[in-house]
Amino acid sequence: MIRRPFLSAALTLALAGLAPPPAAADPSAGPQLLAPLPDGRKLNFRCTGAGAPTVLLEGGYGADSLGWGRVKVGLAKSYRVCTYDRAGAGFSDPGPLPRDGAAIARDLDRGLTAAGIDGPFIVVGHSAGALYVRLFSNRRPQDVVGMVLVDPSVEHQDRRFAAMFGEGAGGTGPLRARAVQCLAAAEAGTLPSSEPPLDRCVPPARSTQSPTAAAARRAEALRPSTWRARISEIDTIWNATSDQLDAGRQSYGDLPLVVLTADGTYAAAPEALREPLANLWWGLHRELARRSSRGVSRQVAGSSHMMMTDRPDAIIAAVNEVASQANMIKRK
């Protein structure tokens, strides 16, 4: 027997032009909600929980909709929480190049509309994803009621690092070189490979993954479009994407804003550079927090750059703090 709630949900998706995928034993083995964009491409969204505001989680370089783990589970107790695959990642279609911040924010804006995911939103961005949610907030200033930036990248930060530590200190050269090698191997059909550094192009199956989920992640790494998107994101981060932020609003007014800085981002740096690097990183984040009169910059102990894995509790607490402030503003 087909239960009415399931039938109603399926009808809603059909009317919105969205395709509910077949049920899978492991949800990560397939898309959840494919939202059509105006050019015919589709973005995959994954939402769980209920409650307002809706929390949007945007990952950093190379991340997809599955990267927030315990953060998403914890937040879903109080909010509707959504992640998505950027164009070319996960189960989303590739997008036209360049994949700069404006293109990414535009896709997210249009994808949310197509998927029927309404605001208000609290946006959470990790690393490079912080640049993208800030550009999204510029597109929807009335809908974004709070922001949490997790060990965030900052526009033109390469210049600040180079000024203090020398040319190339804040560059993305190693990441790009690896992606270029993976792209060449994917185009040649020689992935997966056991030869370094190509052995890192295809992620090994994890013990917690189903065979179908592991196969999906493998297929993603074998697609040349995956690596083209990643290379384009890298190539535009310190020029076009940063310039787009420079051209946007420089003040967030009284928007509730928490900037979280991991205390261990540079723990593996040479000892003589460790403290100067950490101080520069902390300083950039304090500057970012000052863009809002409600901005708070906070160091998180016991965390590497991957805070969502090391200290999900800190991110959940920051979202709760921002949501509380947003509700207070609304009531005034």
Which residue ranges of the chain lie beneath pLDDT 50? 1-17, 19-24
Assess whether 95 and 229 both reside in one domain. Answer: no
CATH number at residue 99: 3.40.50.1820
Assess whether 128 and 261 both reside in one domain. Answer: yes
Structural domain contains residue 9 = no
The one-character DSSP state at 301 is: T
Assess whether 145 and 88 both reside in one domain. Answer: yes
Assess whether 217 and 144 both reside in one domain. Answer: no
Structural domain contains residue 13 = no
**What local confidence, expressed as pLDDT, does residue 196 receive?**
93
Where does residue 156 fall: left (phi above 0), alpha (psi -120 to 50 degrees), or beta otherwise?
Answer: left
**What local confidence, expressed as pLDDT, does residue 331 receive?**
63
Assess whether 37 and 130 both reside in one domain. Answer: yes
**What local confidence, expressed as pLDDT, does residue 327 receive?**
81
Give the count of domains, the chain.
Answer: 2
Q: Is the peptide bond before 53 cis (omega within 30 degrees of 0)?
A: yes
Structural domain contains residue 319 = yes
Structural domain contains residue 79 = yes
Structural domain contains residue 137 = yes
Q: What is the pLDDT of residues 145-154, one digit of tens each?
A: 999 999 999 9
Structural domain contains residue 191 = yes
**What local confidence, expressed as pLDDT, does residue 15 receive?**
39
Structural domain contains residue 3 = no
pTM, whole model, 2 decimals? 0.91
Assess whether 147 and 211 both reside in one domain. Answer: no
Assess whether 280 and 216 both reside in one domain. Answer: no
Assess whether 76 and 138 both reside in one domain. Answer: yes
Q: What range defines the domain where residue 143 resides?
A: 33-166+250-331
**What local confidence, expressed as pLDDT, does residue 9 receive?**
37
d(C-alpha 214, C-alpha 28), whole Å: 9
> Nearest 5 degrees, angle CA 85-CA 68-CA 136?
50
**What local confidence, expressed as pLDDT, does residue 25 receive?**
62
d(C-alpha 41, C-alpha 62), whole Å: 20
Q: Using alpha carbons, list the distances in angstroms from residue 96 to 87, 131, 323.
A: 9, 19, 35
Q: What is the pLDDT of residues 29-43, one digit of tens each?
A: 899 999 999 999 999
